[in-house]
């Protein structure tokens, strides 16, 4: 039943994560690459009725004036994560996808992101006007590609945090605000509203607000569709979510946990703006005390170091107390390519979300917690226990069939 056409609509469609996702999907379709990094290809999910790569079609929104081929070529020349040969073989597909990418929305994205925008990107008069325009883009994509289902995934740059007090908890209160040009909802939430209103699934891979307000969850349930987020867990925070439980279960008391992240991609450039950075740091930091149940001193820094490009180096220093009150330490250095870590998870989330949607699941897809730094609707932050939620869901899906 899965061999129908499934759309993936990427918000930030020519950013590093999206471009890597697109190159990855296209090379997967051609059998040029293996399954490394793809969770949905693990043996325990083998018998699930997940969508085939061949049935997936990509479109998206983007605010910058760049070409997808150009961005894909940077994976070869700057990040050294793809080969020129692949780009050459996938040229037609990349050009097709590029033609499907529509101008994004700039409401409440913050000055730093606005500065990156092309002149052609429309300045929407109100949130309502924006949602209307975005829905039309989605409808058009579904129609012209004859899609059976659509999953919208936000992989755009991090927005400044919204003031939670300004966000009402009910959809009936939020809905009228869309007419107010001063409405504090950021673009990430407007994309979510546009997707869910039209009955599509929505996944927020970023720390931006997205679908996290209760009012938007309510909308999803009203429309009979599903969503999840927030902030893909790919590197340093993934490490935290396996190491903090280890310390907790051994009763080793953490005194301080310092994380220093350096990298030089677009994400890093946007995070140089302290407003945008705040959202990210919070998302990387909170799980430590949620796992431990107490609050050690923590510090997360993120610095834009141009020479590193998309290669992030994270150095963490954990200072802890053992038996007899003896202080000890753990340091780690994680050297990974952010886009390469994130892209397969975008594909995995699309497949799992699509299956859940087909099976009629609505609201927050909490079984996807292991993919996120701040999983919506879930208090469990231990990676392994989050992963068991995914495995148990998969068991349920199999029995369902």
- CB under 8 A: which stretch of 81-89, 91-99, 206-214, 372-380 binds its own copies? 81-89
- CB under 8 A: which stretch of 48-56, 99-107, 237-245, 283-291 binds its own copies? 237-245
Is 251 a binding residue for its own copies by CB under 8 A? The answer is yes
Contact 275, 203 (CB under 8 A): no
Minimum CB separation from its own copies for residue 304, in Å? 9
Residues 50, 56, 58, 82: which binds its own copies (CB under 8 A)? 82
- Toward its own copies, which CB reaches closer, 112 or 234? 234
Residues 19, 26, 27, 376: which binds its own copies (CB under 8 A)? 27
Minimum CB separation from its own copies for residue 86, in Å? 8
Please state, in angstroms and rounded to a whole number, the distance separating the CA atoms of residues 168 and 177. Answer: 9
Residues 5, 29, 223, 317: which binds its own copies (CB under 8 A)? 317
Q: Which of residues 362-401 bind its own copies (CB under 8 A)?
A: 370, 382-385, 387
Please state, in angstroms and rounded to a whole number, the distance separating the CA atoms of residues 146 and 345. Answer: 25
- CB under 8 A: which stretch of 94-102, 179-187, 216-224, 247-255 binds its own copies? 247-255
Please state, in angstroms and rounded to a whole number, the distance separating the CA atoms of residues 69 and 81. Answer: 15
Is 299 a binding residue for its own copies by CB under 8 A? The answer is yes
Contact 338, 190 (CB under 8 A): no
Is 274 a binding residue for its own copies by CB under 8 A? The answer is no
Strand partners, 303: 262
Sign of CA dihedral 369, 242, 79, 156: positive
Minimum CB separation from its own copies for residue 381, in Å? 12
- Toward its own copies, which CB reaches closer, 148 or 303? 303
Is 243 a binding residue for its own copies by CB under 8 A? The answer is yes
Q: Which of residues 329-368 bind its own copies (CB under 8 A)?
A: 329-337, 340-341, 343-344
- Toward its own copies, which CB reaches closer, 91 or 385? 385
Long-range interactions of 180-184: CB distance < 8 A, separation 24+: 180/126, 180/127, 181/125, 181/126, 181/127, 183/126, 183/127, 184/108
Pattern 186-225, binding to its own copies, x per CB under 8 A?
Answer: ----------------------------------------
- CB under 8 A: which stretch of 125-133, 156-164, 271-279, 296-304 binds its own copies? 296-304
Minimum CB separation from its own copies for residue 386, in Å? 10
Please state, in angstroms and rounded to a whole number, the distance separating the CA atoms of residues 219 and 268. Answer: 33
Minimum CB separation from its own copies for residue 103, in Å? 28
- CB under 8 A: which stretch of 5-13, 23-31, 111-119, 168-176 binds its own copies? 23-31
Strands 56-62 and 363-364: unpaired
Q: Which of residues 87-126 bind its own copies (CB under 8 A)?
A: none
Q: Which of residues 40-69 bind its own copies (CB under 8 A)?
A: 41-42
Please state, in angstroms and rounded to a whole number, the distance separating the CA atoms of residues 401 and 391. Answer: 16
Residues 164, 176, 274, 322: which binds its own copies (CB under 8 A)? 322
- Toward its own copies, which CB reaches closer, 317 or 358? 317
Contact 155, 205 (CB under 8 A): yes
For residue 287, the tally of other CB atoms under 10 A from its CB is 21
Please state, in angstroms and rounded to a whole number, the distance separating the CA atoms of residues 259 and 117. Answer: 31
- Toward its own copies, which CB reaches closer, 130 or 318? 318
């Amino acid at each position: 039943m899965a061999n129908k056409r499934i759309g993936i609509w990427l918000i930030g469609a020519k950013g590093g994560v999206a471009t890597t996702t697109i190159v990855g999907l296209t090379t997967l379709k051609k059998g040029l690459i293996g399954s490394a990094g793809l969770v949905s290809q693990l043996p325990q999910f083998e018998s699930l009725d997940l969508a085939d790569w061949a049935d997936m079609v990509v479109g998206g929104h983007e605010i910058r004036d760049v070409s997808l081929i150009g961005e894909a070529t940077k994976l070869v020349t700057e990040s050294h994560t793809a080969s020129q040969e692949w780009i050459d073989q996938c040229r037609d597909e990349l050009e097709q996808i590029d033609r499907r990418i529509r101008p994004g929305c700039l409401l409440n994205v913050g000055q730093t992101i606005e500065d990156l925008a092309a002149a052609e990107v429309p300045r929407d008069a109100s949130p309502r006007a924006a949602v209307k325009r975005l829905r039309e883009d989605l409808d058009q994509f579904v129609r012209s590609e004859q899609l059976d289902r659509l999953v919208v995934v936000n992989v755009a740059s991090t927005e400044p945090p919204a003031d939670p007090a300004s966000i009402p908890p009910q959809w009936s209160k939020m809905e009228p605000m869309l007419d107010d040009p001063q409405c504090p909802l950021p673009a990430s939430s407007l994309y979510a509203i546009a997707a869910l209103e039209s009955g599509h699934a929505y996944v927020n891979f970023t720390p931006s607000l997205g679908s996290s307000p209760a009012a938007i969850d309510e909308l999803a349930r009203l429309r009979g569709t599903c969503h999840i987020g927030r902030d893909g867990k790919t590197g340093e925070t993934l490490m935290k979510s396996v190491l903090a439980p280890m310390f907790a279960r051994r009763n080793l008391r953490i005194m301080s946990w310092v994380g220093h992240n350096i990298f030089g991609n677009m994400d890093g450039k946007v995070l140089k703006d302290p407003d945008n950075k705040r959202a990210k740091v919070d998302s990387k930091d909170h799980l430590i005390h949620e796992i431990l149940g107490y609050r050690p001193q923590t510090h997360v820094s993120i610095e834009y170091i141009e020479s590193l490009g998309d290669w992030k180096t994270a150095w963490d220093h954990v200072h802890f107390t053992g038996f007899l009150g003896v202080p000890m330490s753990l340091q780690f250095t994680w050297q990974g390519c952010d886009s390469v870590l994130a892209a397969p998870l975008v594909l995995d989330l699309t497949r799992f979300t699509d299956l859940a949607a087909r099976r009629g699941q609505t609201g927050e897809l909490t079984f996807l917690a292991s993919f996120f730094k701040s999983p919506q609707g879930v208090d469990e932050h231990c990676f392994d226990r989050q992963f068991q939620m995914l495995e148990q869901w998969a068991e349920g899906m199999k029995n369902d069939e």
